[in-house]
Structure 1
Amino acid sequence: MTDQNRSTEPNASCGCKIGRISTQYEFSGLDTALIEYWTGEADDQYSTRELATYVNRQVLEAALEAADVPVKDGEVENTYRLLTDDDVSSGTRVQTRNELQRDGVPIEQVESNFVSHQTVYNHLTDCLETSLEEPSDEERLDRGAEKLGALQNRTAAVTTSTVEQLERNDILTIGDFNVVVSVTVTCEDCLQEYTVRELLEQGSCQCHESHSDHH
């Protein structure tokens, strides 16, 4: 997500939190970008959670620029992660906040301006009167497959990292290894097992096929 919505002219469309920070940080075109990203009119489509991150990173970047803190590529994203990610330790988060404070960034004010996904949703639906068309069954299946695929990839990555750490500390001994995560879904009626991919591709278990044969 690029920072393409900041201008010298404020563009507050409403009195909600997003409208207020749009005025405060002089964001222009933010409403248009949120609508396009949410509805898929842009090249990519984002959830309200991803859009909240999009807004919050712009807030952080604007605050860094106002404090004349040099910003390198990827630095805003990493700093935001250190401030908000659940995987980051409290010590690292405190250290990051202290460094920003020393650089003249009013970090408490910045964090108070961060928005939630619910705030983004309310802004889109209430202030901007935007709605999403109901996705087709095929789109729902695709999204479900993507979500589960991402979860499996993350599980594999965490497992790999944990094994490597244990090996480095001489707690575990293993040669070259590969981690494969496979989730199996079992129907308790027909007792048929499927991988998630198989089940999504088939769209039903053998129960449905048996019922169809009887008809």
Structure 2
Amino acid sequence: MTDEGSDTTESRCGCKLGRVSERYDLTDLHDTLISYWTGDADEQRSTRELATYVNQRVLETALTNADIPPREGAVKNTYRLLTSDDVTSGTRVQTRNELQRDGVPVEQVESDFVSHQTVYNHLTKCLDTAIGTPSDEEQLERSTEKLGALQNRTAVVTSDTVERLERKEILEIGAFNVNVSVTVTCEDCYQEYTIRELLDQRSCNC
């Protein structure tokens, strides 16, 4: 007798996350996402954190399928090298080449990575899941992550530019570091804060 319950959400869902979960046989993924997002698990996670979770599981499965047993911490580190804004383009290319040589279909894997918006749409539309309005702390955390990513990206682009000009002998410089700092000045009290200080403090000294 056929069990109608075996018609999983993966096979009914036509969105990208549904197709990816089916392609990589992530049969428990949907229940896990709901549990993490709604806070039924030990720790509630944002959709951005859930996108990272999904993508790392995709990468882990791809490594396993290529007969590369993932060592402890290797999946997270490889994912960081492939996606993080603070990784130089040269390091990212080297990581892709090494995976390709080991039989990992890197282009397919990267195209299967999902965004936090895809996760949100899947949770709310495909899985009919909802949570309350994000708390102040959650909104601050997301803002801090977003601004931090922008600063890291600016630093990487600057570093790549300097290295390229140095290779072409247009610029001369020794070993260098790039630091990006964003400050906010209150026009009432003229107090200046880094953006992280302001978000942590949540007010100026007026």
Fold shared per TM-score above 0.5: yes
**Structure 2 counterpart SS, 1:95:** helix
Match of 1:213 in 2: none
Distance 2:88 2:141 in 1: 28
Cα RMSD (Å) of the superposition? Answer: 3.5
Post-superposition CA distance 1:87-113 (Å, at most 9, x none): 111111111111111111111111111
Match of 1:88 in 2: 87
Shift of 1:199: 5.8
Match of 1:58 in 2: 57
1:191 aligns with 2:186: no
Shift of 1:19: 0.9
Distance 2:50 2:200 in 1: 32
Match of 1:143 in 2: 138
Residues 149 and 52 (structure 1 numbering): CA distance in 2 closer, same or farther, change over 3 Å?
A: closer
Q: Give the length in aligned residue pairs.
A: 169
Post-superposition CA distance 1:168-206 (Å, at most 9, x none): x899xxxxxxxxx9x7763x4x6385974796489xx86
Distance 2:48 2:200 in 1: 29
Distance 1:197 1:48 in 2: 21
Distance 2:61 2:94 in 1: 21
* Runs of 5+ consecutive residues of structure 2 not aligned to the other structure: 1-6, 156-173
Match of 1:128 in 2: 127
1:48 corresponds to which letter in structure 2? T
* Runs of 5+ consecutive residues of structure 1 not aligned to the other structure: 1-8, 159-168, 172-180, 207-215
**Structure 2 counterpart SS, 1:104:** coil
Distance 2:30 2:200 in 1: 40
Specify which structure has the bigger relative contact order, considering alpha-carbon pairs within 8 angstroms and separated by 6 or more residues. Answer: 2
Residues 185 and 32 (structure 1 numbering): CA distance in 2 closer, same or farther, change over 3 Å?
A: farther
Matches within 5 A, 1:96-111: 96-111=95-110
Shift of 1:149: 7.5
Match of 1:17 in 2: 16
1:48 aligns with 2:47: yes
Distance 2:175 2:111 in 1: 44
Q: Which runs of 4 or more aligned residues in structure 1 lie more than 2 Å from their structure 2 counterparts after TM superposition? A: 142-152, 183-186, 190-202
Question: Is contact 1:11–1:23 with CA below 8 Å preserved after alignment?
Answer: no
Q: TM-score of the superposition, structure 2-length normalised?
A: 0.67
Question: Is contact 1:57–1:80 with CA below 8 Å preserved after alignment?
Answer: yes
Question: Is contact 1:83–1:97 with CA below 8 Å preserved after alignment?
Answer: yes
Shift of 1:57: 0.4
Match of 1:113 in 2: 112
**Percent identical:** 54
Match of 2:36 in 1: 37
Question: Is contact 1:11–1:28 with CA below 8 Å preserved after alignment?
Answer: no
Q: TM-score of the superposition, structure 1-length normalised?
A: 0.64
**Structure 1 counterpart SS, 2:189:** coil
